Amino acid sequence: MLRVYSCVVGEHNLWLVLVAGLICALAAFTAFSIFEQARQSQRRRPLWLGLAGFVSGTGIWATHFVAMLAYQPEIPIGYDLPLTLLSIAAAVLVTGAGWFIAARGGLRAALLGGATIGAGIGTMHYLGMAAVKLSGEMVWDERFVAASVLIGIALSAAALAEQGRRPEALPWRPALVLTLAICGLHFTAMSAAFIFPDFSLAVPPAAIDSDMLTIAVVTMAIVILAISFIMVLFDRKLARNAAEEAVRLRTFADAAIEGLAVIDGDRILDANRSFLQLAGYESVDSMPAELSSLLPELDLDSLAVHGDAPASECRLVRGDAGVREVEALIRPLAWRNAQLRILAVRDISERKEAAERIAHLAFHDALTGLPNRAVFTDHLARSVEQAVATGEPMAVLCIDLDGFKAVNDLYGHPAGDAVLVGAAQRLRSVVRGNELVARLGGDEFAVVQLGGSQPTHAGLLSERILAALDQPFTIDGHLVRISGCVGTALFPADASSPADLIKNADMALYRAKAEGRATARFYEAAMDEALRQRRQLDADLKHAIDNEELAVHYQPLADLGSGTILGFEALLRWTHPTLGVVSPEVFIRLAEDSGLIIRLGEWVLRQACTEAARWTPRLKLSVNLSPVQFVQDDLAATVERVLAETGLDPDRLELEITEGLLIKDSERAIAILQRLKAMGVQISMDDFGTGYSSLSYFRMFPFDKVKIDQSFIREMIANPQARAIIRSVIGLGRGLGVPVVAEGVETAEQLEALRDEGCDQVQGYLIARPNPIGHFTGVIVDRAEATVRRRGAA
Ligand code: C2E
Ligand code: CA
Ligand code: CA
């Protein structure tokens, strides 16, 4: 060590040593920079490695010769040209080989490459020393020679290892270590040399002198500096190009509607603006680094396996903890040297929501949001299957609102809708996990209850439903009161198929409704038969008009004072082909329920008017009207048309209505009655005393006649109260100037009592039973005869 120190300090020009060191450091720095460039480039790697070899080789050589210039042994020195050139070539080739080895990557390659470079430094140095021609003899201390070579190899290896440790950093540290290797080798080797001057040995004339060498070295140093300078410039331009390229790419990426992110494994390296917006972050830095925390469901590996895998749908967890449905797509991305991937995500939340809304609409009732009939049917079928499989019982409950139509009529459809929504909400609140409630249509709902112990659980559910619907609703500030009826059928007790379960629950519901509001009924086998018969009768009635099974009978009304017949009431008769005579009490009700009464009513009217038009004398005709017939707006027009067609004078027609008509939709009904009255038709109040029998009816409409219901006549002898009522109705009629008719007079006793009370007219079996018109030829002149007589008069 001391010897090396005295060699450097004592035998060298220190300024020039410093210059040599600088040249060496500069060359090492440049060589490492080029080496790093080579490692990053793929196509031009050999070129860059070759250049690294050239820079390191010539750098070492320049260092060596500047250091030789600094060496002042005080005897003339020259250099042998071929050997000098050979030393340069050897330095370039051997260090170049070292760079090639190190470029393979890894610590071993770095150490081996570094050692080779060290060997290159040694080769250059000793070839260079062999080129030295001086007047004297050079003797070598072999231990120092070995030490110098070892220093060169070890430090070079260390330099390359250091570079491999931090390839991205500016290569100051490896350059410094390599400089130490070169200078260490050089000066240790110089200490190994002893020169014994022998002036008999002259420097050969062919040898190049120090001046020449200086020029060569300076040239070489300039070349190295120039290369470094160009390198730096080139690097700058590359960096600028890269920056411009990056800006261009980012502009492109940010313009993309899709969210784009560059990922390395699970790590997010960069993202465009759309991605940040979608994920709800301001910048890439504020975003979580792991992709899995943004897209927890995304299976990166399965996407990665197929380079062109289709997009997969998953959820994206936003920065604000909100969730978005996205479609994600991954494509490989070759970037610099790394194999990265680019992830494209597209927001499909809206599309999904729309699809879900459509699916919901297909299966749910738009108004109440309850499952619709399709869902109910499907659910019922599956429940029955399950009940069969598990042996559990189940129940089907059909629900119908009471008084819903009235709400609609009274407060309008929006209020009706509000009631339905409210009822649905309450039904939803009373059903449990094993129960599904659906809206089947209109004000009909149904529940499927699976399991439980039956009929107990179905019974409890019905009670919950009745209680829930019985609470009033507040709609538009009105307190609206409705209720509901429930019909229940059980599986397997009442039916074994879904269709029969619904049918039987419906039947139970029908029965419940018939018994009054807020009623629940279980299905009973007997209902089945009753309903079946009813349906059959209903169907039969439809055919009855066409099959001439219907006929009109007539019952006379007599003046109580004179006993003369004033007119006839038309009463409908039906003789069923198998059942025989069916009571009007039964079939009129049926026809009212099915709406058939409208056709039937018009038929009776036409038949009776045609008949009465032929009568002489021109007696009165009474025809009964059902309240249901007033649903038609054109009832008055129908009557007018029938009168015109049959030729009956309007003032011979009396229409009988019951007070029920005035309770329901009085304004409309009165309007129709007024139109009829304006035509000259008379209006009678039938069955007076059975309903509310309010005197206000007479204020509402000026009736032409009042018919006291036959139940009072039947009791008037035995029951003084019935008689008192009859008396007061007769008094009322007298006060209003309206004739009063007593119906159902069967006995002479009744007749006398009525005469005593001052009743105007009577009707009943005592006078005559209802019969076909032919039965009354004694009262009205034979129709054929009448026709002839009228012709004669004309
Ligand atoms: P209503 O209008 O009160 O008709 C009188 C009913 O009393 C008739 O019954 C008649 O046969 C019966 N009757 C008459 N005198 C006596 C009597 O002395 N004793 C007893 N026990 N009954 C007597 P019917 O024909 O069975 O008709 C029953 C109801 O059916 C009628 O009651 C009426 O409300 C309805 N109806 C009958 N025909 C028609 C029709 O063409 N149109 C409409 N809308 N309703 C009709
Ligand atoms: Ca009547
Ligand atoms: Ca009556």
- Whether 730 and 759 have beta carbons less than 8 Å apart is answered as yes
Instruction: Identify which has the larger pLDDT, 787 or 201.
Output: 201
pLDDT range class, residue 745, cuts 50, 70, 90: very high
Catalytic residues: 743
The region, left, alpha or beta by phi > 0 then psi within -120 to 50, assigned to residue 197 is beta
pLDDT range class, residue 784, cuts 50, 70, 90: very low
CA 366 to chain centre: 15
Residue 626, pLDDT > 50, answer yes
**pLDDT tens-digit map of 191-204:** 888 878 777 776 66
Protein residue with least CA distance to atom 45, ligand 1: 624
pLDDT range class, residue 229, cuts 50, 70, 90: low
pLDDT range class, residue 116, cuts 50, 70, 90: very high
Q: What pLDDT was estimated at residue 605?
A: 97
Residue 185, pLDDT > 80, answer yes
Compute the average pLDDT of residues 644-671: 89
Protein residue with least CA distance to atom 16, ligand 1: 744
pLDDT range class, residue 307, cuts 50, 70, 90: low
Q: What pLDDT was estimated at residue 781?
A: 67
Ordered by where they begin, the domains of the chain are: 2-222 (no CATH), 258-347 (3.30.450.20), 358-523 (3.30.70.270), 538-708+776-787 (3.20.20.450)
Mutate to test the pocket of ligand 1, among 554, 571, 709 (most ligand atoms within 8 A of CB): 571
3-class SS string, 524-588: CHHHHHHHHHHHHHHHHHHHHCCCCCEEEEEEEEEECCCCCEEEEEEEEEEEECCCEEECHHHHH
Q: What pLDDT was estimated at residue 304?
A: 58
Residue 791, pLDDT > 50, answer no
Task: Please tell me the distance from the alpha carbon of residue 159 to that of residue 150, in angstroms, as a whole number.
Answer: 14
Compute the average pLDDT of residues 596-606: 94
CA of 465 to the centre of ligand 1 (A): 41
Mutate to test the pocket of ligand 1, among 624, 659, 766 (most ligand atoms within 8 A of CB): 624
The overall pTM is greater than 0.85: no
Q: What pLDDT was estimated at residue 520?
A: 93
Residue 213, pLDDT > 90, answer no
Protein residue with least CA distance to atom 25, ligand 1: 571
Compute the average pLDDT of residues 358-381: 87
* Pocket lining: 654 vs ligand 1, CB cutoff 6 Å: no
Q: What pLDDT was estimated at residue 794?
A: 42
Q: What is the mean pLDDT of the chain?
A: 87
Instruction: Identify which has the larger pLDDT, 253 or 462.
Output: 462
User: Which residue spans within 649-763 are E strands per DSSP?
Assistant: 653-658, 682-688, 705-708, 740-742, 761-762
CA of 563 to the centre of ligand 1 (A): 22
Residue 86, pLDDT > 50, answer yes
The region, left, alpha or beta by phi > 0 then psi within -120 to 50, assigned to residue 563 is left
**pLDDT tens-digit map of 128-153:** 888 888 777 888 888 999 999 999 99
* Pocket lining: 624 vs ligand 1, CB cutoff 6 Å: yes
**pLDDT tens-digit map of 269-279:** 888 888 998 89
